[in-house]
Amino acid sequence: MKKTILWLIIIIFILSLTLIETGCKEEAAPVEKAPAEEVVEEEAIEPVTITFWHTYNVESNEYVTLTDVVIPRFEEENPNITVVEQQIPYEEFHTKLVTGIAGEVVPDVVRMDIIWVPEFAEMGALASVDSYDSFSSIAEQVFPGPLNTCKWGDNYYGIPLTTNTELIFWNKAMFEEAGIDGPPTTWDEFADDAERLTKPGEKWGLAISDCSPWNFLPFIWSGGGSVTDEDITTATGYINSEDSVNAVQFIVDLFNDGYIADTIIGGGIGMQDGYANNVYGMFKGGPWFYGMIGGQFPDAEINTALMPTGKGGSISVIGGEDLVIFDGSANKDAAFRFVEFMVSEEIQLILAETGQIPVLNTIAESDYIKNHEFYPIFLEQLKTARARTVHPGWQEMDAAIKLGIEEAINGVKTVQEALDGVADEINTIIEKY
């Protein structure tokens, strides 16, 4: 009996120790786990510095907003990423990028002219961005036209930052003097208004800055023409088609009749000067002219209208800049985080206050945009605006088209002859790629 009692005491004692030990472990468990969840992840994210090259004018409100508001806010939200911006004049930018690639000294992020993206993508200089998880959602929010400027081949090599297009600026005082109620909406009205607004040697119905595709493509597209086929395999039957020829002839005739100022051949006075001083009844221009005219001529009244509708519709040209990441960047993830930030709704609205048209369709209905002096009409034109041919050889195509149109304007060749030659030139360029 004594042995039985002794054994019972021993068993109870052992069970007690087990329960105590178990209790201690349960109380200690959270204490042991806490150190394991210490800021190990933050220590693993090494601080990085990314470089951002751009062409903002250092005296502009855009630049001040970038350096004093946008970048500091990004760094505050991303304390491990420092952004070093570098401004480069536009006329030097392309050369500096090419030189940087050759010397393997490239920036992480670049605010790049949309017409350069396919060229640098073809070089292998840019990193594709469509593999990032957030790309699809961003792409859905961006206007299709600007987004298309980022694509080359099967991939996207950038995300639009800002966009723009051109409208018809019409001089209300000159229209009223000529007895015209409002801006033209069709090509027939456009030609008729240009004639009625013209006073030979004193005033001109229309001013066009030069013979570049930037100025002529809206007329070619609105007239039903194009530069190449959809797959960019040939220009024959497209840039020299009946519709394209008729569109260029339309402008050539207006010039020969004396209704277009000599600006188209390098003469005349500046667009804003001629407009504000009631010398030009109409000119084709972008949103930057609001600042240029308002700055020089604060009392000038500014009125704009959509491109007049032709056989192909009311179509203008897309301009703007894309954000691209260089393939040589050692900090691609940090660079993409900066790109994401720049195209967020918050930053797009901040940039909009500096005169940059936002690329997000999601903020087109915001009070600020809807009540803006000129954003609504530019955004309306952007619905049908097109990008210039998205091809690495566009710079060469651009030069060929400009030269051909200059030959037609100056009477060196007929429009058909000039555009036949342009088609041959573009076909040769296409074959190189």
Residue 325: strand pairing partners:
109
Position 53, amino acid: W
CATH number at residue 147: 3.40.190.10
User: Could you tell me if 143 and 266 are in contact, meaning their C-beta atoms sit under 8 angstroms apart?
Assistant: no
Domain shared by 147 and 281, yes or no: no
3-state SS, residue 164: strand
Q: Taking 90 as the threshold, does the pLDDT of residue 418 lie above it?
A: yes
Domain shared by 313 and 228, yes or no: yes
| 421 falls within a domain | yes
Domain shared by 279 and 349, yes or no: no
| 8 falls within a domain | no
Look at residue 355 in the predicted model and tell me its pLDDT. Answer: 87
Domains contained in the chain, number: 2
**List of E strands, 319-361:** 319-325
| pLDDT (tens digit per residue) in 63-102 | 999 999 999 999 999 999 999 999 999 999 999 999 999 9
Q: Taking 70 as the threshold, does the pLDDT of residue 31 lie above it?
A: no
* 215/104 Cα distance (integer angstroms): 36
Domain shared by 236 and 209, yes or no: yes
Residue 112: strand pairing partners:
322
Q: Which domain holds residue 312?
A: 167-317+393-431
| 106 falls within a domain | yes
Residues 189-202: what's their mean pLDDT?
A: 97
Domain shared by 377 and 397, yes or no: no
Please name the residue ranges forming H helices in 37-133.
Answer: 40-44, 61-65, 71-77, 90-102, 117-123
| 29 falls within a domain | no
Look at residue 402 in the predicted model and tell me its pLDDT. Answer: 98
| pLDDT (tens digit per residue) in 365-411 | 899 999 999 999 999 999 899 999 999 999 999 999 999 999 999 99
